[in-house]
Structure 1
């Protein structure tokens, strides 16, 4: 019975696309343009239909060439092509206003062939014959989960051969037909989407909020046609196929959510943006699913007459990007009503004006900055607006607008003004303020509040000003989606408290007021004690996390204290810090330097001259630096301001599980009260169920609670006796073993968390836990090896898997009498084979791959054919013969390498040329050709340390052609380039 990736996931998903209104496109007999894989006949028919014009074949073939030219570059990540399909063009390629007029198709295993390499996505999506995206699927519980596809995707994005294809793709999906595992930091299961963004591509969850009804009927003859075209007709009546065909499988639900025709068209038109910033360069981003649902809710509420509302999306969820995406949707929304739109983005600080302006400008918007009430009034009254298709944002800083400012305005009524008010938890009081005056002056305006922390004060709250919530996306979902981290609060060490009491001459239980605290903590002696502690603590933090790129922030109790702390680090400290205060110079440059830049020569690690940044009021909102993971809090913050401050360390970074707060002022009570009220707001004010909402805050007590839970989970296993523990693992399946490993891993993490919190960890048997973790990891490796061995659908290299323990297991289970040999002797032979494979210096060779397949069959024999001594004897003979053949192949490679003075790159090139021209060339004639080419290499580019591909091709085309010509082989340009690619791949490979 066929039961593999194709039968279990790919074909059911293809048929689900048919349910959604797609057609199935067979490759058989199709005319496909090999430059961009455009299906020519479908393209021509669709473009004529869309444009209601009978274009000649020449015109349409010229259009296909134009697409090839637009995508064939290494600079713009497909921006020129994207603008071609989404903006006005003389010939329309996609109808975004009426999606049903387009032709949507799916293709199975369409080959995308570059000069040297190729790839075949499981399912390619065509719109009007143009490959516009694809979906890669894996069977459930596949090796390495969806990470296997992410790795493959990143590799493809780095292959220059494939760039023109990825410049054409807009939406790409991945699924292994499993639910999301929200507890895992590494995404191994679930369904994810992205848009091509080079090596910076990120992979997003999609959690459906508005279920789409799907008719599960598919015509019987269509099912048969598609299965026949994929040689899988035999699965048609199996129960497994019928189960996997259901619309509610995880993969099919994901396809419904992302690739339903109207959704896909929306994401292409409104959900993709090119961001060109000084720090990161040109990037291509795609809308996150909460942004999508917020915009759809906004449209729905506007259609019902809403004028004011709040979008509550937690910090780090991309509110500026949301405003950008929304403006494009709303521009078209009101254009259909014959209204011109004018957009405003309102902030309350000058630094936020600069930040927002940069964000919008990097997305291609025209920016008008306004920082006075007079300029604002003038802008409001001006009837001048950009064209209906122009992206313009008026960014306003109201910080200096007086609270009683009133402006008499006579506004144009045929212009729809839309105001995005950033961080509406601050400064927007209901009476006597800028906002109240604005609401009175422009009652027809639309006011959209953006916040991660709404005001919950008793006297008024955010929704008193903005009527209702449009959409909400709280911490619990953001953490599950991997956009934010939980926060761990750490108390200060006992010895520091003792030192501080001595410095301040305080008794054990004595407390001081906030005002006294601000005064005494500015003393030189206190600052010296504090800074020494912070420096030691942060060095230990980096050591435990094993990451020197991490950064810290100190939130001081006053600007005077901040300056003294900066002076200490400048004069006494070993860590370099930046001081960012309102009246300091160079704040923007300091912020950028602290964020750091990636160093391509050091594994793309972030590098910065600053380890830390010292602040008072600045940077507590709106400042994002992913490397900032430890915050030293020296003053109290209240309610929403506290949550904003804590959010400075909640951005994901590498594999860190938390952001860390070192609490010098005991924020616990304030935080718990604030968080309680926000949870109540979610559950009561907006009807959130609340069962899946959890706190974002972790402290040492919760870590200790975790340890108790872990010890309960591991209670049945004897960690005090590792031999007994190892025997308990024997009968367990891989899933249970992984659960044990996860518990032991978390136990180690809790140990480290308590160490960083300066807690006593002497009663935790960390050495025994570490050794138990090794035991369970070894057992999992054995189970993985067995699974890989059994899996004909697996593309893993069998020689990468340690099979020794697996072979021992097979022998012990079968209870074979090994009187004629020993277990160690068998394992020694297996080790010899593995070492022989490893030492072979041409592992792309077909002969080498064939030997690997023989090895896999021999290892299987240890399990299936070891019921007698005779069978084992035969297996060992086969193993010895395999070992001998590997040695012969390696010796042959080494002999050939010696002819090239020890350069095994030339040996591999020799073998590829000999294989390609085996009917014409002997080893001797191949060697003579190679000598001619090598001589020219030494003459023409031998003095260049790392010649680029362009140099190699320019200098060596003629020498290669001439060398083959001497042996009577006339080569065309493509054949010459094929040979040159061998040299770039094996001899001059970059990086």
Structure 2
């Protein structure tokens, strides 16, 4: 159980600092960093900051420079303050210059000349806001300003990355002052390296850093040196952080590697005089809109483009409004939304510069050559459909010399229409035609999207295969179908198929199935669902039937309204405000509705990560099908850290029975996107058989209490335990998806036993957590149901770390089989207790703990004794530290160490009057060197220290 290998400080924290030093970051030890800040209540390296700000802004006085520091250290302690900090870092904030009688932008960072900045890295960055103290493991500073926080965890720590993220969340809650100015955080355990934006601590928002288009897995050194490359880190902060507003709430994101890669390629293509086309395929749900916005922003502010025009072409009113709100929030100025064909024509004729947001239909009958400038850049959303037909011709003839960059969330299909899209946008990038590609498989691997599974309902609920084939799948005009309006026109002609789908007896049965499936499979997981009906009439019919099986508030109909609708359709018309509320409530786990009944609306552009299941009762194919089912591919994590295992499509039509025909794409492009749930059932069975052989067999022959003992004994080996944790997590994910399928019946008892083993081990592990955070919902319910009659009892008592326990351990009254568990518990407690001590002492404690851990395999008893001694030392130093702080003695590190050295010199001071007398005298001599204290004050402090130390000797300290 060696802790040297993969230990946090030596294997993760120190290498990050060393690699950063090798690429030009200057290391500042914690003590020196504290002096540069003034004290632990300050954030900025004051003198360094003043020197650089005066260099970068010669018009500033020193007094004004100090005012800027005050403003940065007194930002609003929330995300709004963080936005202000970013504006300062990007040089967008003004200061009034008295001698010039005007306001001027000030620069805190030299963005153009990167090496004209000062780059520092420090560790154990202690910050106190008067209420709480935090100590991020590593902080990176530019020109004295803390920019990036790094939290590291040892490789061997179970759920280490989750613990690191929890630590980042705690920093936000306890000391938001530091987080108001910092822009990026990193968490790493050596094996993984993830980054995110401060004020966005959702696991969903984290990105794993990757080297650009590298197929090989980078090593830790490469990751650190590329991520913390000086030029890159400044670019990440100034170009790739976005603040957006959604429903009036400010949100923050930092772009992922694939988005950054695409933006850089778009800028390169825009500067290429020979190539004026490009096609970006980033799979649905991977942040295509943000990529477009940042690309537009960079083109507009780049002087190389000589005051350009950027046209963002979207194809939905809804997306147009959504896009415009985001654009305003990120600070792009000079934006025009073309309100009509006439307005757009006026903008182009008047040679409007800046950003124009419009839709493709507004180019209808636009005069050819209306603007022939070359520095016009058209960013086309959903390019596979936006530029099809005559509208695309009008667009390109109107702007003949523009550069066109197409974006698509789905791969290009294999039809003639798909080929024309490649010709339009991909001609400069043979052989595949993509300027940049982020495939479905990549997004699932990165966790940007989740795996999709589908299941077919029984035959009597599905439509007739021959009719589906004849009236839909075999229709030539349906091939490569790219928009829902065209789909509806085709379905309108499929009279028999539609009548079959809307047969009232069938709708009753489908509604009953949906209600039962939702209650049994979806609701227990805490997720929500879509019911996609063939048309608006079917939506209304389904609502009537669902209300017979579920509470009416569980479901809502959302579709477009028509003034000529009959009463049965008008019944479900929604005002804009009401629809907005319904949509927002749907994204919240504790609010209704739980099921949205839709046919057109919300099948594109609607992002609800809590959406898990789609009941598909509308024939779809190709792009329309991919876009629709992508609604359920968004990652989601609940408040307990339980992640959505996948997205599920329940097919009532039979589309997934013939996927090759329904999805006319290259197989490599859609490989692994959606899998038959029957394959998952087979995989679950295989894993359960493996579990029976490897784990259930361990305890099969033992009685109840001995069975648990046998399991615990087997998993004392840390490598075995970690392997089991990984195995169970994978198995649990499958169980959550499949339960309560009857096919699991033969495995439920064994799965419960595996859950019991997992919980028992977790209770005894050093990263002890509650069941609700460790077990997913269905598994937790299974355990609770069993434990009402079959209580899970850990083999051994969980020792309370108090004086009695320590005495018992020292007297060797504990069996050897428990020593490893108790060792881990004490080590974990030391890690917690040391947080209240100064950084240099914490480092020393960590080093001692690591050395003791290395000894454990060779001599358990000796190492346990040493660890108990370290635990006592930590608590003694805490008492000394607290007493000195209360007496306003600054920088007490050296004093604490000296007093502790004296205590070790007199180990029996609490039993011998002579040793106590000598202890008092020598502590007095140490404090005598503090010039601010008089003789009586020193005597009082010595007495208080001794009395406080006696109390912890006599009074057990609870865990």
| TM value normalised by structure 2 | 0.70
Cα distance in 1, alignment partners of residues 574 and 67 from structure 2: 53
Cα distance in 1, alignment partners of residues 314 and 752 from structure 2: 51
SS at match of 1:76: helix
After the TM superposition, which residues 721-732 of structure 1 pair with which residues of structure 2 at under 5 Å, given as runs?
722-724=699-701, 730-731=713-714
The C-alpha deviation readout for 1:743-778, integer Å capped at 9, x for no partner, is: 45544554554446x55443x221123213423554
After the TM superposition, which residues 894-905 of structure 1 pair with which residues of structure 2 at under 5 Å, given as runs?
none
Cα distance in 2, alignment partners of residues 745 and 268 from structure 1: 35
Measured after TM superposition, the shift of residue 720 of structure 1 is 6.3
Structure (1 or 2) with the greater helix fraction: 2
SS at match of 1:80: helix
Cα distance change of structure 1 residues 411 and 93 upon mapping to structure 2, 3 Å threshold: same
- What value does the CA root-mean-square deviation take over the aligned residues? 4.8
Residue 121 (structure 1) aligned with residue 136 (structure 2): yes
Aligned 8 A contact 2:266 2:405 in 1: no
Residue 25 (structure 1) aligned with residue 25 (structure 2): no
Residue 766 (structure 1) aligned with residue 725 (structure 2): no
Partner of 2:66: 61
Cα distance in 2, alignment partners of residues 628 and 463 from structure 1: 33
Measured after TM superposition, the shift of residue 342 of structure 1 is 1.9
Residue 278 (structure 1) aligned with residue 214 (structure 2): no
Partner of 1:192: 194
Partner of 2:356: 394
Cα distance in 1, alignment partners of residues 198 and 812 from structure 2: 56
SS at match of 1:418: strand
Residue 347 (structure 1) aligned with residue 314 (structure 2): yes
Identify the match of residue 103 of structure 1 among 96, 113, 118.
118
Cα distance in 2, alignment partners of residues 18 and 806 from structure 1: 44
After the TM superposition, which residues 185-584 of structure 1 pair with which residues of structure 2 at under 5 Å, given as runs?
190-197=192-199, 202-209=205-212, 250-278=219-247, 281-304=249-272, 305-333=274-302, 335-337=303-305, 339-365=306-332, 367-385=335-353, 393-399=355-361, 402=364, 405-411=365-371, 413=373, 416-429=375-388, 431=389, 433-461=390-418, 462-467=421-426, 468-492=433-457, 494=458, 497-498=459-460, 500=461, 515-545=495-525, 547=526, 550-569=527-546, 573-576=550-553, 577-583=555-561
The C-alpha deviation readout for 1:372-411, integer Å capped at 9, x for no partner, is: 333222221122435xxxxxx4221234765xx3424432
Partner of 2:775: none
Partner of 2:627: 644
Identify the match of residue 10 of structure 1 among 9, 13, 33.
13
Partner of 2:166: 151
The C-alpha deviation readout for 1:537-594, integer Å capped at 9, x for no partner, is: 111123442x2xx221111122221222233345774243222222264365455334
Cα distance change of structure 1 residues 528 and 843 upon mapping to structure 2, 3 Å threshold: farther
SS at match of 1:317: coil
SS at match of 1:566: helix
Cα distance change of structure 1 residues 509 and 670 upon mapping to structure 2, 3 Å threshold: closer
Aligned 8 A contact 2:110 2:116 in 1: yes
Q: Which has the higher contact order (CA 8 A, sep 6+)?
A: 2
Residue 660 (structure 1) aligned with residue 648 (structure 2): yes
Aligned 8 A contact 1:580 1:613 in 2: yes
Cα distance in 2, alignment partners of residues 13 and 826 from structure 1: 37
Aligned 8 A contact 2:311 2:376 in 1: yes
The C-alpha deviation readout for 1:89-139, integer Å capped at 9, x for no partner, is: 543211112212111121232322211222222222121122222222233
Partner of 1:136: 151
Partner of 1:804: 796
Measured after TM superposition, the shift of residue 294 of structure 1 is 0.6
Cα distance in 2, alignment partners of residues 120 and 843 from structure 1: 11
The C-alpha deviation readout for 1:484-518, integer Å capped at 9, x for no partner, is: 111111222x4xx54x59xx9x9999999653231
SS at match of 2:505: helix
Cα distance in 1, alignment partners of residues 299 and 208 from structure 2: 25
SS at match of 2:71: helix
SS at match of 2:232: helix
Identify the match of residue 41 of structure 1 among 28, 44, 47.
47
Measured after TM superposition, the shift of residue 145 of structure 1 is 1.0
Aligned 8 A contact 1:621 1:648 in 2: yes
Cα distance change of structure 1 residues 396 and 671 upon mapping to structure 2, 3 Å threshold: farther
Cα distance in 2, alignment partners of residues 696 and 739 from structure 1: 27
Partner of 1:736: 720
SS at match of 1:532: helix
SS at match of 2:700: helix
Cα distance change of structure 1 residues 716 and 344 upon mapping to structure 2, 3 Å threshold: same
Cα distance change of structure 1 residues 821 and 454 upon mapping to structure 2, 3 Å threshold: closer
Cα distance in 1, alignment partners of residues 606 and 400 from structure 2: 33
Cα distance in 1, alignment partners of residues 120 and 448 from structure 2: 33
SS at match of 2:357: strand
Cα distance in 2, alignment partners of residues 83 and 340 from structure 1: 22
Identify the match of residue 615 of structure 1 among 591, 598, 602.
598
In structure 1, runs of 5+ residues without a counterpart are: 179-189, 213-246, 387-392, 600-604, 683-692, 787-800, 808-819, 850-854, 880-884, 890-910, 920-967, 969-991
Aligned 8 A contact 2:372 2:399 in 1: no
SS at match of 1:284: strand
Cα distance change of structure 1 residues 7 and 729 upon mapping to structure 2, 3 Å threshold: closer
Identify the match of residue 170 of structure 1 among 183, 188, 204.
183
SS at match of 1:167: helix
Partner of 2:776: none
Partner of 2:956: none
Aligned 8 A contact 2:522 2:613 in 1: no
Aligned 8 A contact 2:455 2:676 in 1: yes
Q: Which stretch has the larger CA shift, 482-491 or 128-137?
A: 128-137
Partner of 2:787: none
Cα distance change of structure 1 residues 771 and 508 upon mapping to structure 2, 3 Å threshold: farther
Q: Which stretch has the larger CA shift, 659-668 or 558-567?
A: 558-567
SS at match of 2:346: helix
SS at match of 1:657: coil
- Give the number of aligned pairs: 763
Partner of 2:482: none
Partner of 1:94: 109
Cα distance in 1, alignment partners of residues 410 and 217 from structure 2: 35
SS at match of 1:312: strand
Measured after TM superposition, the shift of residue 12 of structure 1 is 2.3
Cα distance in 2, alignment partners of residues 917 and 41 from structure 1: 29
Measured after TM superposition, the shift of residue 643 of structure 1 is 0.8
SS at match of 1:14: helix
Aligned 8 A contact 2:414 2:665 in 1: no
Cα distance in 2, alignment partners of residues 783 and 488 from structure 1: 34
SS at match of 2:185: strand
| TM value normalised by structure 1 | 0.68
Measured after TM superposition, the shift of residue 860 of structure 1 is 13
